[in-house]
Amino acid sequence: MYNFDVEMPGSVADAVSAMGREEAQALGGGQTLIPTLKQRLASPSVLVSLSKISEMKGVCTGEDGALCIGGATVHAAVAKDGFAGLAGLASRIGDPAVRARGTIGGSLANNDPSACYPAAALGCGATIVTNSREIAADDYFQGMFDTALEEGEIITEVRFPVPEVSRYEKFVQPASRFALVGVFVARFSEGVRVAVTGASEDGVFRWAEAEAALSQAFSENAVDGLSVPADGMISDLHGSAAYRAHLVGVMTKRAVANAA
Amino acid sequence: MPKDGGIGASSKRREDVRFLTGEGNYTDDINIRGQAHVFFLRSDVAHGALKGVDTSDAAGMPGVIRIFTGADFEAVGGMPCGWQVTDKHGQPMQEPRHPILAHEKVRHVGEPIAAVVAETLEQARDAAEAISVDIDELPAVVDMKAAVASDDVKVHDDLTSNLCYDWGFVEENKAATDAAFEKAAHVTTLELVNNRLVANPMEPRVAVGDYARGTDDHTLYTTSQNPHVIRLLMGAFVLGIPEHKLRVVAPDVGGGFGTKIFHYQEEAFVTFAAKACNRPVKWTSSRSEAFMSDAHGRDHVTKIELALDAQNNFTAVRTETFANMGAYLSTFAPSVPTWLHGTLMAGNYKTPLVYVNVKAVFTNTVPVDAYRGAGRPEATFQLERVIDKAARELNVDPVELRRQNFIREFPYATPVAVEYDTGDYDATMDKVLEISDREGFAARRAESEAKGKLRGFGINCFIEACGIAPSNLVGQLGARAGLYESATVRVNATGGLVVMTGSHSHGQGHETAFPQVVAEMIGIDESMIEVVHGDTATAPMGMGTYGSRSIAVGGSAMVRATEKIIAKAKKIASHLLEASEGDIELKDGAFSVAGTDKSVAWGDVTLAAYVPHNYPLEDIEPGLEETAFYDPSNFTYPAGAYSCEVEVDPATGEVTIERFASADDFGNVINPMIVEGQVHGGIAQGIGQALLENCAYDENGQLLSASYMDYTMPRADNLPPMDHYVVDHSCQTPCTHNPLGVKGCGEAGAIGSPPTVINAIIDALQSGGHKVDHIDMPATPSRVWSAIHG
Ligand SMILES: Cc1cc2nc3c(=O)[nH]c(=O)nc-3n(C[C@H](O)[C@H](O)[C@H](O)COP(=O)(O)OP(=O)(O)OC[C@H]3O[C@@H](n4cnc5c(N)ncnc54)[C@H](O)[C@@H]3O)c2cc1C
pLDDT one-digit tens code per residue, B80-104 = 999 999 999 999 999 999 999 999 9
Residue pair B482/B631 in contact (Cβ under 8 Å)? The answer is yes
> How far does A111 lie from chain B, in Å, by closest CA?
17
B108 CB neighbour count, 10 Å cutoff: 27
Mean pLDDT for B114-123 is 98
From A40, A237, A243, residue closest to B704, measured CB to CB: A237
Q: How many CA atoms lie within 13 A of B495 on its CB side?
A: 16
d(C-alpha B394, C-alpha B786), whole Å? 26
Cβ–Cβ below 8 Å for B712 and A237: no
Give the CATH number of domain B420-458+638-790. 3.30.365.10
Residue located nearest, by CA, to atom 36 of ligand 1: A106
Measured between alpha carbons, how far is B158 from B96 in angstroms, rounded to an integer?
8
Question: What residues of chain A lie within 8 A of the CB of B713, using their CB?
Answer: 175
Residues of B in contact with A250 (CB under 8 A): 651-652
Give the nearest chain A residue to B712 (CA atoms).
A175
Q: One-letter amino acid identity for B703?
A: L
pLDDT at B469: 83
Q: Atom 11, ligand 1: which residue's CA is nearest?
A: A115
**In which element (H, E) is residue B353 found?**
strand B353-362
Tell me which of A33, A91, A153 to substitute to probe ligand 1's pocket, judged by most ligand atoms within 8 Å of the beta carbon: A33
CATH architecture of A165-259: 2-Layer Sandwich (3.30)
Compute CA B285 distance to the chain's CA centroid, rounded to the nearest angstrom.
21
- Three-class DSSP labels, B497-545: EEEEECCCCCCCCHHHHHHHHHHHHHCCCHHHEEEECCECCCCCCCCCC
Q: What residue spans in chain A does CATH classification 3.30.390.50 cover?
A: 165-259
Q: A171 and B780: CB-CB below 8 Å? A: no
Q: Any idea how long chain B is? A: 790
Distance of residue A210 Cα from the nearest chain B Cα, in angstroms: 18
What type of residue is B717? D
What are B161-216's pLDDT values in tens digits?
Answer: 999 999 999 999 999 999 999 999 999 999 999 999 999 999 999 999 999 999 99
Tell me whether residues B710 and A175 touch, CB distance under 8 A: yes
Question: pLDDT per residue over A169-209, tens digit each?
Answer: 999 999 999 999 999 999 999 999 999 999 999 999 999 99
pLDDT band at A1 (very low <50, low <70, confident <90, very high): confident
The 3-state DSSP class for residue B215 equals coil
DSSP state of B137: E
Neighboring chain A residues of B654 at a CB cutoff of 8 Å: 171
Please identify, in words, the CATH class of the domain defined by A5-160: alpha beta
Segment A119-127 mean pLDDT: 98
Residue B3 has pLDDT above 90, yes or no: no
Neighbours of A10 (CB within 10 A): 11
Task: Flag whether residue A243 sits within 8 Å of chain B, measured between CB atoms.
Answer: yes
Which pLDDT value is given to residue B703? 98
Q: Is A217 in CB contact (< 8 Å) with chain B?
A: no
Per-window interface: B 526-555 vs A, CB < 8 A: none
Interface contact flag, B709 A175, Cβ < 8 Å: yes
Q: Which residues line ligand 1 (CB under 6 A)?
A: A 25-33, 50, 71-72, 93-94, 98, 102-103, 105-107, 109-110, 112, 115-117, 154-155, 177-178
Which chain B residues are within 8 Å of A1, Cβ to Cβ? 122
Q: Candidates A103, A173, A183: which one to mutate for ligand 1, based on the most atoms within 8 Å of Cβ?
A: A103
What is the CB neighbour count within 10 angstroms for residue B203? 21
User: Are the Cβ atoms of B708 and A175 closer than 8 angstroms?
Assistant: yes
Domain residue limits, chain B: 27-138+202-255+260-293, 141-199+295-407, 420-458+638-790, 484-630
Cβ neighbours of residue B731 under 8 Å, at least 6 residues apart?
B424, B427, B428, B431, B640, B663, B664, B665
- Residue A187 has phi, psi (to 5 degrees) of -105, 125
Q: For a pLDDT cut of 90, what percent of chain A falls above it?
A: 99
What is the reported pTM?
Answer: 0.97
Instruction: Evaluate whether B420-458+638-790 and B484-630 have a shared fold.
Output: yes
Residues of chain A with CATH 3.30.465.10: 5-160
pLDDT recorded at residue B790: 76
Domain B141-199+295-407 grouped into CATH 3.40.50.1220: no
**Contact criterion met (CB < 8 Å) for B694 and A176:** no
CATH fold of B484-630, please?
A: Aldehyde Oxidoreductase; domain 4 (3.30.365)
Question: In chain B, pLDDT over 90 holds for what percent of residues?
Answer: 98
Query: How far apart are alpha carbons B241 and B231 in whole angstroms?
Result: 9
Pick the residue of A247, A251, A253, A254 with the most B CBs within 10 A to test the interface with B by mutation.
A247
Cβ–Cβ of B780/A238 closer than 8 Å?
Answer: yes
- Report the top-level CATH class of B27-138+202-255+260-293: alpha beta
Reported as a pLDDT band with limits 50, 70 and 90, residue B655 is very high
Estimate the crossing angle of helix B781-788 against helix B748-767, to 10 degrees: 30
ipTM surpassing 0.90: yes
In terms of Cα–Cα distance, which of B483, B514, B513 is closest to B499?
Answer: B514
Q: Touching check for B780 and chain A: CB below 8 Å?
A: yes
Please give the pLDDT value at position B77: 86
pLDDT for position B2: 66
Nearest alpha-carbon partner for B78 in B262, B237, B218, B271: B237
pLDDT at B307 over 90: yes
Q: Is the pLDDT of residue B1 over 60?
A: no
Which of B:273-292 have CB within 8 Å of A? 288
Scanning B5-44 for CB atoms below 8 A from A yields none
Partner residues linked to B206 by β-bridges? B284
Cβ proximity of A184 and A168 under 8 Å = yes
Confidence of residue B115 (pLDDT cuts 50, 70, 90): very high
Residue to probe by mutation, ligand 1, list A69, A98, A99, A154, most atoms within 8 Å of CB: A98
User: How far, in Å, from the CA of A34 to the mean position of ligand 1?
Assistant: 10
For B436-456, what is the mean pLDDT? 98
Three-state SS string over chain A comes to CCCCEEECCCCHHHHHHHHCCCCEEEECCCCCHHHHHHCCCCCCCEEEECCCCHHHCCEEECCCCCEEEECCCEHHHHHHHCCHHHHHHHHCCCCHHHHHHCEHHHHHHHCCCCCCHHHHHHHHCCEEEECCCEEEHHHHECCCCCECCCCCCCEEEEEECCCCEEEEEEEECCCCCCEEEEEEEEEECCEEEEEEECCECCCCEECHHHHHHHHHCCCHHHHCCCCCCCCCECCECCECHHHHHHHHHHHHHHHHHHCC
Counting every residue written for chain A, the total comes to 260
Residue A131 Cα, gap to closest chain B Cα (Å): 33
Cα distance between residue B554 and residue B514, in whole Å:
9
Residue of A3, A43, A169, A176 best to disrupt the B interface, most CBs of B under 10 A: A176
Q: Which residues of A touch B652 (CB under 8 A)?
A: 171, 247, 250
Which of A1, A39, A243 has its CB closest to that of B785? A243
